[in-house]
Amino acid sequence: MTEWKRTHHCGDVSKEYVGQAIILNGWVNRRRDLGQVIFVDLRDRSGLVQIVLDPEVLGPEQFALAERLRSEYVISVQGTVLERPEGQVNKKIATGEVEVQVSKLIILSEAKTPPFQIHQAADVDEALRLKYRYLHLRSKELQDTIALRHQTVDAVRSYLNGQGFLDIETPLLIRSTPEGARDYIVPSRVHPGEFYALPQSPQLFKQLLMIAGFERYYQIARCFRDEDLRADRQPEFTQIDVEMSFVDREEVMNTMEAMIVHVLSEVKGVKVETPIPRLSYQEAMDRFGSDKPDTRFGMELCDVTAHLGGSEFRVFADTAKTGGVVKGLNVRGGADFTRRQIDQLSEQAVSMGAKGLMWFALEADKVRSPIAKFLSEEELIAIQRELAGEVGDLLLLMAGEYDLVSEVLGRLRLQLGKELGLIGENRYNLLWVVDWPLLVYDEDSERFVAAHHPFTAPLDEDIDLLESDPARARAKAYDLVLNGVELGGGSIRITDRNLQERMFRALGFTMEEARAQFGYFLEAFEYGTPPHGGIAFGLDRLVMLLANRNSIRDVIAFPKTVSASDLMIEAPAQVSQQQLDELKINLRR
């Protein structure tokens, strides 16, 4: 055995080993040089332990070596575990009851002074942290988060493996499809002028695996989308991709909620009550103004249109007349909002597209509101009753088109919920949103497009709406929402050839046109297709929530910036003329 090879990990050293000779390896986290004795906090991935470098034990030569130690040097130490002297226990670290008296020190690697201190990395400019990502990754926070990610994947795999799912890989070099997100494109050398695309998801392949008879498939799959980024969106990200045969919606949802419950239990020790509540898309929009409601707090939206249709107040009467709605929400205890605060809310509502925001502060002796004088006593009472307004509350009302009013109020609700501290810590509120619209009208292309994708099955009772009223057709689709974040979504797929044809027609193209685009896929369906459906979860988002982070960059070992650059490897980058020549690619300009 090599003389420097470790016998224990730093974070594991405890009173149990007092008196034992051990060898530790790790990085110098901090050094405290007191002259005739040097203390070093030694760090490896398991944690920290204090080592003591004493010239009387080490001898002059070894102590001279110890004096050279600096932050981030990689060392090996032989020594004895000692219980710390009376009154010198450090309660801040797990190994604080003990220390290691070093008898032999080996410097395995010296280190330049790092561009930032590892234990302060959280405050450093993101660009610098990303350039030196391997240093940031040394921080406890990121080490813990990356480990949590591993545990999450492990729990997912063990659950699905136990349920008879097969992990099957699908290709990364595939064919570009015009629908959906922008593709990342890879040129082909062997076929000049032709290109692969990187998958936005393994959607078609997993369905083909069902046709192939694997019945239960999963994959921790890397996906690529060339779209603008956000805190929760990276150009490459990871999905927990699942597909099942001979199942209906219930079975997919039941299996998947059991999986998520298993993960939460294994990784966070959180017990979730099942069944997970379900909301229809319509109800989610009605009550929360969002297709991914955060149900950790109330402040639900309420429709008061019915009470205001005959109002003298033009805004309400006109809204009701033109098929719009008046919706509101109750900010509990918000009556003491200042005029300035309320004006800010109004401005925000307007910037989100609303016409305006009306408000009623319910004070002890009166209703403070710029529009109260335009409303009848009955109308004021109805508004208060519907919104369950009590003295001290602030009622917000908005009039206009249903979608816009709901969405804007939904966003105000979320913002107020955060600002007023209504969202409890360490809560995991799961929610299924079901019965999604099947089709959405796209103003740009002046046609219906698939809300989910073109192979999503409509609800049985809505099939005939495909021709009569496509906008009202609902899908056998489901999204799982955790704390207001869309964790994943899926659907039961169309397996009936005739229905698929009607779907394509509703989308505005003929079977011939569909064949041109998805020929191989549709042909496969003609060779015996089991009923099937599936779902895909955003692994990065899931881990982000479990780790209590605000960005998925924090849960990806080597993430990219908001402009899709990797600052460490400096990608993307130009390639050589020779490479371009081989690919028969000319750059413009």
Query: Cβ contacts of residue 480 below 8 Å, gap of 6+?
Result: 256, 257, 260, 276, 430, 431, 432, 486, 487, 488, 489, 535, 537
Look at residue 18 and give its three-state secondary structure: coil
- What is the C-alpha to C-alpha distance for residues 395 and 528, in angstroms, rounded to an integer? 58
Between 52 and 211, whose beta carbon lies closer to RNA?
Answer: 52
Between 230 and 472, whose beta carbon lies closer to RNA?
Answer: 230
What's the alpha-carbon Rg for the chain, to the nearest Å? Answer: 30
- What is the C-alpha to C-alpha distance for residues 40 and 139, in angstroms, rounded to an integer? 17
Evaluate whether 551 touches 544 at the Cβ level (below 8 Å): yes
The identity of residue 162, as a single letter, is G
Instruction: Give one DSSP letter per residue of 300-343, joined into a string.
Output: --EE-HHHHTT-SSHHHHHHHHTT-EEEEEEETTGGG--HHHHH
- Residue 387 C-beta: closest distance to RNA, Å: 26
Between 182 and 427, whose beta carbon lies closer to RNA?
Answer: 182
> Phi and psi dihedrals of 437, rounded to 5?
-60, 140
Q: Which structure tokens are listed for 333?
A: 């205890």
Long-range contacts of 568-576 (CB under 8 A, 24+ apart): 568/130, 568/131, 568/132, 568/133, 568/134
Could you tell me which of 38, 183, 78, 136 has the C-alpha nearest to residue 556?
136
Between 332 and 549, whose beta carbon lies closer to RNA?
Answer: 549
Between 261 and 457, whose beta carbon lies closer to RNA?
Answer: 457
Between 84 and 447, whose beta carbon lies closer to RNA?
Answer: 84
Q: Which contiguous run of DSSP H or E holds residue 404?
A: helix 402-419
Between 202 and 389, whose beta carbon lies closer to RNA?
Answer: 202
Between 173 and 440, whose beta carbon lies closer to RNA?
Answer: 440
- Residue 452 C-beta: closest distance to RNA, Å: 4
Q: Which structure tokens are listed for 556?
A: 């990806």
Evaluate whether 561 touches 567 at the Cβ level (below 8 Å): yes
Evaluate whether 354 touches 404 at the Cβ level (below 8 Å): yes
Q: Say whether the peptide bond before residue 202 is cis (omega within 30 degrees of 0).
A: no
Query: At CA 415, angle to CA 411 and CA 418, rounded to 5?
Result: 140
Q: Say whether the peptide bond before residue 572 is cis (omega within 30 degrees of 0).
A: yes
Between 57 and 372, whose beta carbon lies closer to RNA?
Answer: 57
Q: Which structure tokens are listed for 488?
A: 């994943």
Between 64 and 108, whose beta carbon lies closer to RNA?
Answer: 64
- Residue 412 C-beta: closest distance to RNA, Å: 13
- Give the binding site for RNA (CB under 7 A): 30, 32-37, 39, 41, 50, 52, 54-56, 70-71, 84-85, 88-90, 92-93, 96, 99, 101, 113, 115-117, 120, 123-128, 130, 180-182, 200-201, 225, 227-233, 291, 436, 451-453, 489, 536, 550-551, 553, 561-563, 565, 567
Between 389 and 484, whose beta carbon lies closer to RNA?
Answer: 484
Between 453 and 515, whose beta carbon lies closer to RNA?
Answer: 453
Q: Which contiguous run of DSSP H or E holds residue 80?
A: strand 74-83
- What is the C-alpha to C-alpha distance for residues 412 and 346, in angstroms, rounded to an integer? 10
Q: Please report, for residues 177, 187, 194, the alpha-carbon distance to residue 585 in angstroms, rounded to integers and kept in the order given.
A: 22, 9, 10
- Residue 451 C-beta: closest distance to RNA, Å: 5
For residue 254, give the DSSP letter: H
